[in-house]
Chain A
Amino acid sequence: MKFGVVVFPGSNCEQDCFNVLTDVVKQDAVYLWHRDTDLQGVDCVVLPGGCSDGDYLRSGAIARFSPIMKSVTAFAKDGGLVLGICNGFQILLEAGLLPGAMLRNRGLRFICKFVQVRVERTDTPFTNRFQRGQVIRLPIAHNEGNYMVEPRELKLIKQRNQALFRYCDADGQLTPGSNPNGSIDAIAGLSNAAGNVMGLMPHPERASEPELGSVDGRLLFESMIQTLSERGRSRQRRAAHVSVN
C-alpha cells in the first residue's frame, strides 16, 4: 500500500509517521508538500502531528487552506482513507471533514504522557485489528485536545458510533481522572459518518515499537493496511467481473 504523509510548515511528526509506515509496517510512503495538489496516487493520506503554521490563530485554522487540503477533501469525499493524528485531527476539524472543534486542554497546559484509551468499535477501517473494549496505551502530546461539539451533533456521533477511541482508566472505565484534557464524552478518536476519515489525538506512531514502551499503535496502521488490501482485492474482483462480462 502507498501512504502519503502531508507536510505542512510546522509539522513535526511527519518523519515519525513515515518511519513507522516504511520501517515498522513495511509499506510504501511518500511525503506530500502542502502547496502541491497531486496526491501521487496514494491509497491513504496521513495528516501528521505538529504545529502547522505555528498553531497561530487556531490549531489547523491556516493549514486547512493549504492547496493540498482541496485534494485531501476530494479524496475523502471519494471514500479514501484519511487519518489525522493530533494536529492532523485539528486540521480535519477545521477543514470540516470531521464535526466539532478543539479547545485548550482543561487545566490550560500542554500534556505529554502515556494515557489509556478504549477501543469502541472494531468494524472500522482504523480499528479492525483491535478487540472491542480493548484498553490500549498511547502517548498524547498536545495543548488543544479538549474535544467539543454541540449537543445535537454529539447525539448523532453517539447514534452513529463515531467515537472510535475514548480515554479511560486501566480497567477501561471512563472516569474524570482518566480524561486528560476534558474532551466531551472522553472522545480521543473520532471518525466521520462514512467511516473513512478519522482524527485521533494520541500518537499511534509513538507506540509502534517495543523499545518505545508500547506497540498498541501498530494495530491501527495494520488495520488500515488490512482495509486497503481488502479494498484492493474487491476492486480486482470487480474488475475481473467486469472484464468477464
Chain B
Amino acid sequence: MSQSTKDSLGNLSEAQLRKVARSHNLTDESWKRIVKTLGRLPTLTEVGMFGVMYSEHCSYASSKIYLKTFPTKGKHVLVPAGKENAGLVDIGNGLAVAFKVESHNHPSAVEPHAGAATGVGGIIRDIFTMGARPVALFDSLRFGRLNGHRRTRFLFEGVVKGISDYGNSVGVPTVGGEIYFDDTYRGNPLVNVMCIGVVAPEKIARGAAKGIGNPVLYVGSSTGRDGLGGASFASRDLSEESAADRPAVQIGDPFTEKCLIEATLEALATGDVVGIQDMGAAGLTCSTAETASRGRTGMEIDVALVPRREQSMTPYEVMLSESQERMLLIVKKGREAAITKLFAKWGLHAVVIGRVTDDGLVRIKDGGAVAAEIPAGALTHDAPVYRRPTKKPRYLAKVQQLALRAISQPKDYGRALTQLLASPSIADKAVVYERYDHMVQTGTLVLPGRADAAVLRLRGADRLLASTIDGNGTYCYLDPYEGGKLVVAEAARNLACVGAKPLAVTDCLNFGNPEDPEIMWQFKECVRGISEACRAFGTPVTGGNVSLYNESPSGAIDPTPVIGMIGLLEPGKAPLTAGFKDDGDVILLLGETREELGGSEYLKLIHRRKQGKPPKLSLAREKALHQVMLAAVRQGWVKSAHDCSEGGLAVTLAECALMEGEQLLGAECGLSGLLSAAVRRPDALLFGESAGRIVVTCEPYQQERIEELARRKQVSCLRLGRVGGSRLSLKPWIDESIDDLNRAWRSLANQLGGV
C-alpha cells in the first residue's frame, strides 16, 4: 500500500496519529513495532484496528503468560484452550459439549440492561459459532450491598431484566448461577455469563479462513456506530466519566440472535461453510484477523459492501463497530448464493464482502481505496505480551490477622442464623430466577434453587450433564492462592452433590488494574491456586475469559475468579437434590469441621469484618470426600446432599429444610458433640465455613454403610440427627420454627421492595 493512500478521514500527520494511538491505549513501544511491521506510518483505520486488537480485552497481554500455566489437556478435551471460540469436551454417545464463560462487567456498569443482555448474546454466539446448539445459560453476578448505594438497585434491576429479556426471547434456558452482594463491587458490578451447547464432534465448526479465493460472507444484523471501541473501553478503569462511554455499549436484539442461531446451524449443516467466527469484541477487525491468522491465509474485504444502519460511516467506524448479532462466514466457492438464500429465509443479511487471499494480509478496502493492510499475525499472535511486575499486597498481612478473642459470640444463635438466611447473598433467589425462562428446551431436570448444581438432559446422551458456576471474592481477597483453590473445590463439590463427576472447567478471571503490581500478584496467585486445584480434580481449563481494569473511583474489586465446571452423572442415575426428603431420615456430615471463621459470611454480616484467612483446603481430602459422595450415590444410599458453603453448617441445614419447595421438613440435631479441643467456639461450629463438607441424608439402615465407606477413605462422617418436625433444632444453640426461617430465607423480594 502506498504511503499516499488517503484514509477516509483524510491524511493525518504523524503527531496526530500518535495522539490517536495513545487515545487507543497503544504504548510508545507498540507504536514503534507497528511502524516497523508496516514499514510506514499506519492509517487511522489501522491505528484503530491495532488499538482494539492490542487492548487487554482482545490480546490478553497481561494475562497470557499465566494462562499458559493452566492444565489444558485431558482425554475428553477436543479443542485446546484458546484455539477456538469455546472449550469443547467429548461426553460420549457421539456428542460433545461446548462451553465458555465471559464477562460483560464494564458495559453493565454504565448501561446495565443493554450490558447484561449483550453479554448473554455474545456468549451464545461463541457457542453456536462452534456448530453447537446452545442448551443452557448460567449467570454469575456481583453487586454492591443492596441496602448501601441507591445505584446498586438500579444496576441489579437492569442486569436481571437484561438477562431476562434477552435469554427468554432467544429460547435458551437460564438454569443456574450465583448472585453476591459486597461493597467491593459497588462501582463495578460483575456480570459473567456462561453458555453450554451440544454438537456432534464431526460437525464442529472451525474459526479458520481456508481455501484461497473462497468468498467471505457478512451475515446478521447491519453495522452501526454502537459499541464503537467496546474492547478498548473494557480495558480501562471505570471512572466518573465512564457514562460518557455509553456509545461503547452495544445494544442487543434477541430476535435477530434467535434467527441467527437457526440460520447459522442450518448453514453449517449444509457442509458449505469452511470457517466461521462471530463478531464479538473488536467486530470485523477481530473476526477477519483471527480467521485469516488461524487459516494461515489472508483476507480482503470491502467495507463499502457491509450492510449499515447509519449513514456516512468511515472504514474506521465499520471496522471497530461492535454492533451485535453479526457473523463472518467463509464458504465454499460457488455456494455463496445458496447460503445467502438460507439467511434471507430468516430475514437476515448475508453479503459477500470479500475473499480469502494467500498473502497473509488483512486488506480493508473502501470501494477502490485501501484503508488498511496489515499482516494478520501482527494483529493476533504478535500482539504484545507483558510480564508485568508483581508485588505481594501490603493489605494482606493486616487483613489476615484475626484475633478470635475480640469476636464476641452472638447472644442469640437463632437470630444470627435468621439474619444470615435473610442476607441477600444467602437468601433464596427465586425472585430472580423466576424471571428467567429456565425450562424451555425441556432439558432442565433440576429446577433452580433445588440443588447445588444444574442438571440437564441432553437428547441422544445416556448420561445427564451437571454444571455449576462459582466464585468467592472474599476468600480470594484474603488469600488469592487459597481462594483460587477453594473456588475450584467448591465447584467440584457442587457437582458431587448432585452425583456428578467433574469433567472440565471454564474460567472468568475478574481483577483490577494489571498495571498495579499488587493486583498482578493477586492474579498470579489466583491462577496458581486454580491450576493446582484443576490438576488435582483432573478438570482441564478449556477456555474462558479475563476481565481486568475492574476498578472504580472507590478502588479495585476483590480478586474474583469465577469457575464454570461441567460433569457427568453415572448412566441411569437420577440427579440428587439438596432438600430433606422424608421424616426419619438420618442426617450425616461428611468432612471435617475446624475452628475457621476467616472470610465467613457470618463474620462479614454479624461482625462487619472481612478478615482472617479463608478456610484451609486439602485437595487430597477434598477429592476423597467427592469419591465417598459419588460411591454412595452409585450405591443409591443417599437421599439428599448439600455442600457447606457461605453461612456454614447451620445455614446448610436450614437450606436443606427449605429447598425442597412444597414440603418443608425440619430436623433435630445435637451438635454439642462437635465441640472439641480444636473447635471450641459454637459460632465457628455453626457458621464457620470449613471447606470440604457435605450434609447428606439417608434411610437409617444405610447410615452404617456410608460411615464405612467414609472410614475407608479416611473422611470424617458424623451423625448430626434426624429429619422431621416443623422446627430446626440444632441443640443446644438453635431452635427455630421452619416457617420463620423460610420467611427470612425468602425475604429477598421484600427487601428489593420498590425495584
17 new A-B contacts at CB < 8 Å, known A55-B169, A212-B439: A9-B255, A10-B169, A10-B255, A13-B171, A15-B441, A16-B442, A50-B171, A51-B171, A51-B258, A53-B255, A54-B255, A112-B434, A113-B430, A141-B439, A206-B442, A209-B442, A211-B457
The contact sample of 16 A-B pairs, CB cut-off 8 A, is A9-B255, A9-B346, A9-B347, A10-B259, A12-B440, A13-B171, A16-B441, A19-B442, A51-B169, A51-B171, A51-B254, A53-B255, A112-B437, A113-B434, A141-B168, A206-B442
Nearest residue in B to A15 (C-beta to C-beta)?
A: B441
* Cα-based distance from A205 to B165 in the complex (angstroms): 22
In the complex, the answer to whether B255 meets A211 with C-beta atoms within 8 Å is no
> CB distance A213 to B447 under 8 Å?
yes
* B170 interfacial by beta-carbon distance below 8 Å: yes
Contact with B along A14-56 (1 / 0, CB 8 A): 0110011000000000000001000000000000011101111
In the assembled complex, the CB of B451 is this many whole angstroms from the nearest CB of chain A, namely 13
In the complex the two chains form, is A9's CB within 8 Å of B439's CB? no
The answer to the question of B164 belonging to the interface, with a C-beta cut-off of 8 Å to chain A, is yes
Q: Which listed residue, B171, B436, B439, B574, touches A139 by the CB 8 Å rule?
A: B439
Looking at A19, A35, A109, the one whose CB has the most chain B CB atoms below 10 A away is A109
Q: Which residues of B contact A50 (CB under 8 A)?
A: 171
CA distance A139 to B439 in the complex (A): 8
Is B428 engaged at the interface, CB distance under 8 Å to the other chain?
no
Pick the contact of B437 from A20, A54, A141 — CB < 8 Å? A141
In the complex, A53→B169 CA distance in Å?
Answer: 10
- The complex places the Cα of A143 from the Cα of B164 at a distance, in Å, of 10
When distances are taken between beta carbons in the complex, the residues of chain A under 8 Å from B722 are none
Q: Mark B245-270, 1 if CB is under 8 A from A, else 0.
A: 00000000111101100000000000
A157 CB within 8 Å of chain B: no
Closest to A55 in B: B169
Contact A13 B254 (CB under 8 A): no
A51 contact from B255, B430, B433, Cβ within 8 A: B255
Instruction: Decide if B439 touches A54 in the complex (CB within 8 Å).
Output: no
- State the interface size on chain A (CB cutoff 8 A): 31
A112 touches B442 (CB 8 A): no
CB B74 to nearest CB in A, in angstroms, measures 29
- Let me know if A143 and B442 touch, CB within 8 A: no
CB distance from B566 to the nearest CB of A (A): 19
Name the distance in Å between B7's Cβ and chain A's nearest Cβ: 38
- Known A-B contacts A10-B169, A110-B164, A212-B445; the reply to A56 vs B438 at CB < 8 A is no
Cα A15 to Cα B265 in complex, Å, equals 15
Using CB atoms, name the residue of chain A closest to B574: A211
Question: Do residues A112 and B439 form an inter-chain contact, with CB atoms below 8 A?
Answer: yes
For A16, the chain B residues whose CB sits under 8 A away are 440-442
Q: Verify if A203 is at the interface (C-beta below 8 Å from B).
A: yes
Q: Which residues of B contact A98 (CB under 8 A)?
A: none
- B6 an interface residue at 8 Å Cβ cutoff? no
A148 part of interface (Cβ distance < 8 Å):
no
Cross-chain contact A10 with B435 (CB below 8 angstroms): no
A205 to B441, CA, bound (A): 10
Interface centre among B169, B170, B347, B457 (most CB of A within 10 A): B169
Q: Contact check, A110 vs B435: say whether CB atoms are below 8 A apart.
A: yes
Closest 3 CB pairs of A and B: A12-B171, A54-B255, A51-B169
Count chain A CB atoms within 10 A of each CB in B256, B436, B441, B457 and give the residue with the most: B441
In the complex, A54→B169 CA distance in Å? 7
Q: Which of A182-227 contact B (CB under 8 A)?
A: 203, 205-206, 209, 211-213
Out of B256, B438, B445, B574, name the residue touching A112 (CB < 8 Å). Answer: B438
Instruction: List residues of chain B with CB within 8 A of the CB of A141.
Output: 168, 437, 439-440
Q: Closest CB-CB distance, A138 to chain B, in whole Å?
A: 11
A contact patch SS = mixed
Known: A109-B435, A213-B447. A205 touches B169 (CB 8 A): no
**Complex: how many Å from CA A203 to CA B433?**
18
A79 to B430, CA, bound (A): 42
A111 to B444, CA, bound (A): 16
Question: Which B-chain residue is minimally distant from A141 (CB atoms)?
Answer: B437
Q: How far, in Å, is A46 (CB) from chain B's closest CB?
A: 15
Q: Is the CB of A13 within 8 A of B440?
A: yes
Contact B434 A111 (CB under 8 A): yes
Q: How far is the CA of A15 from the CA of B198 in the complex (A)?
A: 15
Tell me how far the C-beta of A19 lies from the nearest C-beta in chain B, rounded to whole angstroms.
7
Provide the residues of chain B in CB contact with A54, threshold 8 Å. 169, 253-256
Docked CA distance A51–B172 (Å): 12
A188–B130 alpha-carbon span in the complex (Å): 40
Q: What residues of chain A lie closer than 8 Å to B168, measured between beta carbons?
A: 51, 110, 112, 141, 143
Question: In the complex the two chains form, what is the Cα distance from A15 to B435 in whole Å?
Answer: 22
A206 and B439 CA atoms in complex are apart in Å by: 7
- Which partner residue on chain B sits nearest A208 by CB separation? B442
Q: Which of A9, A35, A55 has the most CB of B within 10 A?
A: A9
**A interface footprint on B411-447 (CB within 8 Å = 1, 0 otherwise):** 0000000000000000000100111111111101101
The complex places the Cα of A205 from the Cα of B440 at a distance, in Å, of 10
Contact pattern, B 571-591, Cβ under 8 Å of A = 1, otherwise 0: 000100000000000000000
Q: Which residue of chain A is the closest to B174 with respect to CB atoms?
A: A112
B733 CB → nearest A CB, Å: 35
In this complex, what residue of A is CB-closest to B167? A110
Query: Complex Cα distance A197/B107, Å?
Result: 46
CA distance A112 to B163 in the complex (A): 14
Q: How far is the CB of B500 from chain A (nearest CB, A)?
A: 16
Residues facing A in B113-171 (CB within 8 A) are: 164-165, 168-171
Q: Is the CB of B574 within 8 A of A111?
A: no
Most B Cβ at <10 Å: residue of A10, A20, A205, A209: A10
A12 touches B258 (CB 8 A): yes
Task: Report how far A13 CA is from B171 CA in the complex, Å.
Answer: 8
Closest to A143 in B: B168
Which residues of A have CB within 8 Å of B253? Answer: 54
Chain A window 108-135, contacts with chain B (Cβ cutoff 8 Å), 1 for yes, 0 for no? 0111110000000000000000000000
Contact residues in B for A111 (Cβ distance below 8 Å): 434-435
Chain A residues in 8 Å Cβ range of B459: 19
Q: Which residues of B contact A209 (CB under 8 A)?
A: 442
Measured between alpha carbons, how far is A209 from B445 in the docked complex, in Å?
Answer: 10
**What CA separation (Å) do A212 and B307 show in the bound complex?**
44
Asked if A212 contacts B434 (CB within 8 A), the reply is no
A110 with B437: CB separation less than 8 A: yes
Cβ contacts under 8 Å, A112 to chain B: 168, 433-439
Most buried by A among B258, B434, B440, B441: B440
Q: In the complex, what residue of chain B is closest to A23 when comparing beta carbons?
A: B459
B residues within 8 A CB of A35? 345
Cβ–Cβ < 8 Å partners of B254 in chain A:
51, 54
Query: In the complex, which of the residues B165, B433, B440, B442 has the most CB atoms of chain A within 10 Å of its own CB atom?
Result: B442
Residues in A neighbouring B259, C-beta threshold 8 A:
9-10
For A170, the closest partner residue in chain B by CB is B662
A16 to B708, CA, bound (A): 45
Q: Given the complex of chains A and B, what is the CA–CA distance between A113 and B431 in angstroms?
A: 11
Cα(A50)–Cα(B257), bound, Å? 13
**A51 vs B169: C-alpha distance when bound (angstroms):** 6
| Interface residue from B255, B346, B436, B442 paired with A56 (Cβ < 8 Å) | B255
B170 touches A12 (CB 8 A): yes
Say yes or no: A205 contacts B255, CB within 8 Å. no
A1 to B694, CA, bound (A): 50
How does the 8 Å CB contact mask read for A146-159 relative to B, with 1 for contact and 0 for none? 00000000000000
Q: Which residues of A contact B170 (CB under 8 A)?
A: 12
Residues of B within 8 A of A55 (CB): 169, 255
Is there an interface contact between A205 and B437, defined as CB atoms closer than 8 Å? no
CA–CA, A206 and B440, complex, Å: 8
Tell me the smallest distance from the CB of A182 to a CB of chain B, in Å: 16
Which partner residue on chain A sits nearest B168 by CB separation? A110
Contact call B435/A203, Cβ cutoff below 8 A? no
Bound: A55/B447 CA distance, A: 26
CA distance A16 to B171 in the complex (A): 11
Contact B171 A203 (CB under 8 A): no
Beta-carbon nearest neighbor of A24 in chain B:
B442
Q: Is the CB of A211 within 8 A of B445?
A: yes
Q: B574 contacts which chain A residues (CB < 8 A)?
A: 211
